[in-house]
């Protein structure tokens, strides 16, 4: 394989997160750039950034003129929003950012592509959202973006469940206000059957994690989907598969997001 040479003209992209050792996005982004013969013109490197350093890092990057953007991951997805100059509608509504770009003016703009990535990943594998009843587990940053995307893409009914019910209620109210045609609720529906179940919690990231949904409820699910990418077969997906339910792992969401993120950071397609 020919060696890729970075030069003074290389436009720099970053992964801003902590930790970064197990992150998949640097490999995915640079592999995509290599496939397009753009690696060298652009490159993405991980930047291990502790919580307390985030503000200083963003300030310093404003002075780095070959910096064109960054993927933002845990624990910075909420903390970075107030440090930016412009936020997309999704970022304003959720308070979460997972990708930023440097505008030609030098201003920093941010958006959240978790939701669009989930929907695009589902579509790429032949699954539709429009007209479906959906159960979303979680009400954090990724879940908020997914809730918005499901409603935007025509989900007929959306139930949101979270360990803290108040947070689910706030998210449900925000989505219902923005998309009144979607029937949104934060009430637990133990006996309901859903066309699509999505886990947007952290359950499944660590060995020994339990499933975020009971076996009885999974038995009534249609498609069961994950956001977790740390392991391909999470407890949720394993139970669903044992029950004969169709499953959708977390990696397609990340792969779809990579395309969207690279485009957002200004790399021509």
Asked whether residue 259 is domain-assigned, the answer is no
The domain that holds 57 is classified in CATH as 3.40.50.10860
Indicate the pLDDT class of residue 7, thresholds 50, 70 and 90. Answer: very high
Asked whether residue 187 is domain-assigned, the answer is yes
The reported pTM is 0.86
Residues 221 and 126 in one domain: yes
- Residue 268: φ, ψ to 5°: -65, 140
The arithmetic mean of pLDDT across residues 124-128, rounded, is: 96
| Residues annotated catalytic, as ranges | 77
Residues 82 and 124 in one domain: no
pLDDT for 207 equals 86
Pairing of strands 247-248, 223-226: parallel
pLDDT for 2 equals 55
Residues 120 and 241 in one domain: yes
Q: What average pLDDT does the chain have?
A: 94
Instruction: For residue 249, give its domain range.
Output: 115-253
Number of folded domains that form the chain: 2
Residues 119 and 249 in one domain: yes
Q: How many CB atoms lie within 10 A of CB 224?
A: 26
pLDDT for 3 equals 63
Quick: pLDDT tens for 191-238. 999 999 999 998 998 888 999 999 999 999 999 999 998 788 999 999
Quick: pLDDT tens for 146-179. 999 999 999 999 999 999 999 999 999 999 999 9
């Amino acid at each position: 394989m020919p060696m890729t040479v970075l030069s003074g003209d290389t436009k720099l992209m970053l992964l801003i997160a902590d930790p970064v050792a197990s992150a998949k996005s640097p490999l995915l982004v640079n592999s995509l750039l290599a496939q397009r013969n753009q690696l060298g013109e652009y490159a993405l490197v991980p930047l291990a950034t502790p919580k307390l350093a985030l503000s200083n890092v963003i300030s310093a990057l404003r002075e780095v003129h070959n910096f064109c953007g960054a993927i933002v991951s845990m624990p910075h997805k909420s903390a970075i929003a107030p440090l930016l100059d412009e936020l997309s509608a999704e970022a304003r509504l959720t308070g979460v950012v997972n990708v930023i770009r440097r505008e030609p003016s030098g201003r920093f703009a941010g958006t959240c592509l978790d939701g669009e990535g989930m929907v695009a990943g589902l579509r790429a594998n032949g699954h539709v959202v429009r007209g479906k009843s959906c159960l979303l587990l979680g009400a954090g940053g990724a879940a908020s973006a997914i809730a918005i995307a499901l409603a935007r893409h025509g989900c007929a009914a959306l139930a949101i469940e979270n360990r803290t019910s108040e947070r689910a209620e706030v998210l449900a109210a925000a989505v219902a206000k923005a998309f009144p045609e979607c029937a949104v609720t934060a009430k637990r529906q133990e006996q309901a059957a859903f066309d699509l179940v999505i886990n947007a919690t952290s359950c499944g990231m660590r060995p020994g994690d339990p499933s975020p949904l009971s076996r009885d409820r999974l038995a009534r699910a249609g498609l069961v989907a994950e956001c977790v990418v740390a392991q391909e077969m999470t407890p949720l997906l394993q139970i669903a598969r044992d029950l004969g339910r169709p499953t959708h792992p977390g990696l397609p969401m990340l792969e779809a997001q990579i395309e969207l993120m690279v485009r957002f950071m200004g790399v021509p397609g």
